[in-house]
Structure 1
Amino acid sequence: MDDEFGSGYARVLAGSLVLAGVGGRTADQALAAGVEPRKVWLAVCDVQDVPEERRLGRDIKIKDGSSPL
């Protein structure tokens, strides 16, 4: 969430945005209840209209400069 929204706003979303995709809980509540982090992230993406191409996170370059995938 920090990569997509910035650390400050990510914390606000995690604690206040109610997500139907995880039972009407916030991300913090869902994670505390044992919901898989990926399911929580995808629920956030749905509500916040994160484009499909950004739902896997940003590519991290490995030492030789290539993509890890």
Structure 2
Amino acid sequence: MNDADQVRSKALTTNSAGGGVADKLGNMYELSWAVHHALRCIQDGRCAITLEDLDPDLADGSEFTFVDERHRRRHTG
């Protein structure tokens, strides 16, 4: 087992929050997906990420909205 696997395993077994292993893995995936898009915004000033949109049409069920030169995409959890 490598270091990353050990950290993941420890996080899953010591976290007392509700939900099972699949829920926790899903949350980790969602976080890494948001970080991926945030890093894209840092690398390319033509992108933007908005967490928890104020616009009710965009905010309904979305974690964040990512905008680049071609698209505006809502990412839902």
TM-score, with length taken from structure 2: 0.29
Which one has the largest radius of gyration? 2
Q: Between Structure 1 and Structure 2, which shows a larger proportion of helix residues?
A: 1
